[in-house]
Amino acid sequence: DAGVTQSPTHLIKTRGQQVTLRCSPISGHKSVSWYQQVLGQGPQFIFQYYEKEERGRGNFPDRFSARQFPNYSSELNVNALLLGDSALYLCASSLYTGVRNTEAFFGQGTRLTVV
Amino acid sequence: SQQGEEDPQALSIQEGENATMNCSYKTSINNLQWYRQNSGRGLVHLILIRSNEREKHSGRLRVTLDTSKKSSSLLITASRAADTASYFCATGAYSGAGSYQLTFGKGTKLSVIP
């Protein structure tokens, strides 16, 4: 079975532009979460989606938005990019939420550089 | 914000030695997970320990959890050069709204010298 897949792997954008990152969860997983990891830090929670509904949101500005599709894949959108948005964006999928303790499996990430 | 704090921040050992990393956290949790990250790429899931468990093993990995002290440790036995990576602990917590999120520490950078 394929793991969590993210695209693209690398991206360079200019300040003020908009970006869309994509994630396909492990087959059968209905929960997708997004994390931002800046250099030298641990990942920080941005969003969680389960069954196509937003279930949780971290402390990020409204420039960040996401959605989950009927096939459980997800997109993360960031508008009006700032230099500080440069980071590794990680997608995690897990089997359940709110019911049992389950592992979260991560993709390889998208490295976004804002210039 | 970061909840977990790994200790030490960096660790350098010889191949064959054991490596111990510690993690402390602040709030109540449902579980704690350990991850490995190579060269700033994706996180590899190592082990999950539930809040009602005290110890768990997986191959050369041993994880302990002390909820009274809000701390966990990861022991890698008989380390190999391939274990060189950053290791993160992440506390998992559910909210009443059905949200589940992981809160990570800053990680321990492990270097295993051949």
Enumerate the residues of chain B whose CB falls inside 8 A of the CB of residue A66. Answer: none
Q: Which residues contact B44 (CB under 8 A, 6 or more apart)?
A: A106, B35, B36, B37, B38
The first and second tokens of residue B2, run together, are 């970061």
Q: Give me the total of CB pairs closer than 8 Å, taking one residue from chain A and one from chain B.
A: 86
Which residue in B100, B104, B106 has the most chain A C-beta atoms within 10 A of its own C-beta, making it the best mutation to test that interface? B100
Q: Where do we find the tokens 């990393």?
A: B21
Give tens-digit pLDDT for B29-58: 889 999 999 987 899 999 999 999 999 999
Q: How high is the pLDDT of residue A100?
A: 64
DSSP A55-110: EEE-S--TTEEEEE-TTS-EEEEE-S--GGG-EEEEEEEES-SSSS----EE---E
Nearest to B34 by CA among B56, B10, B15, B13: B56
End-to-end CA distance of chain A: 37
Q: A59: nearest CA in chain B?
A: B1
List all residues of chain A from 31 to 50 with a beta carbon under 8 Å from chain B.
31, 33, 35, 37, 39-45, 48, 50
Residue B18 has pLDDT above 80, yes or no: yes
Q: How high is the pLDDT of residue B32?
A: 93
SS3 B61: strand
Enumerate the residues of chain B whose CB falls inside 8 A of the CB of residue A111. Answer: 40
CB contact under 8 Å between B31 and A92, yes or no, is no
Rounded to the nearest angstrom, the minimum Cα separation between A1 and chain B is 16
Residue B21 near residue B73, CB atoms below 8 Å: yes
CB contact under 8 Å between A108 and B41, yes or no, is yes
For chain B, give the mean pLDDT: 92
Residue B92 has pLDDT above 90, yes or no: no
User: Mean pLDDT throughout B92-105?
Assistant: 82
The first and second tokens of residue B24, run together, are 């402390």
Q: Which of B30, B42, B88 sits opposite A107 (nearest CB)?
A: B42
CB contact under 8 Å between A109 and B101, yes or no, is no
Give tens-digit pLDDT for A5-63: 999 999 999 999 999 999 999 998 999 999 999 999 999 999 999 888 999 999 999 99
Residue B2 has pLDDT above 60, yes or no: no
**Local confidence band at A102 (pLDDT 50, 70, 90 cut-offs):** confident
**Local confidence band at B1 (pLDDT 50, 70, 90 cut-offs):** very low
Residue A98 has pLDDT above 60, yes or no: no
Q: How high is the pLDDT of residue A99?
A: 57
| Spatial distance between the Cα atoms of A85 and A63, rounded to a whole number of angstroms | 10
CB contact under 8 Å between A43 and B105, yes or no, is no
Residue B81's Cβ-count burial label (10 Å; 0-12, 13-18, 19+) is: exposed
Q: B4: nearest CA in chain A?
A: A42
User: Mean pLDDT throughout A76-105?
Assistant: 88
Q: Which residues contact B86 (CB under 8 A, 6 or more apart)?
A: B36, B37, B38, B107, B108, B109, B110
Residue B95 has pLDDT above 80, yes or no: no
| Spatial distance between the Cα atoms of A106 and B85, rounded to a whole number of angstroms | 16
User: Mean pLDDT throughout B59-71?
Assistant: 97
Strand-strand pairing, A10-13 and B31-37:
unpaired
Q: ω into residue B8 within 30 of 0, thus cis?
A: yes
Q: How high is the pLDDT of residue B19?
A: 97
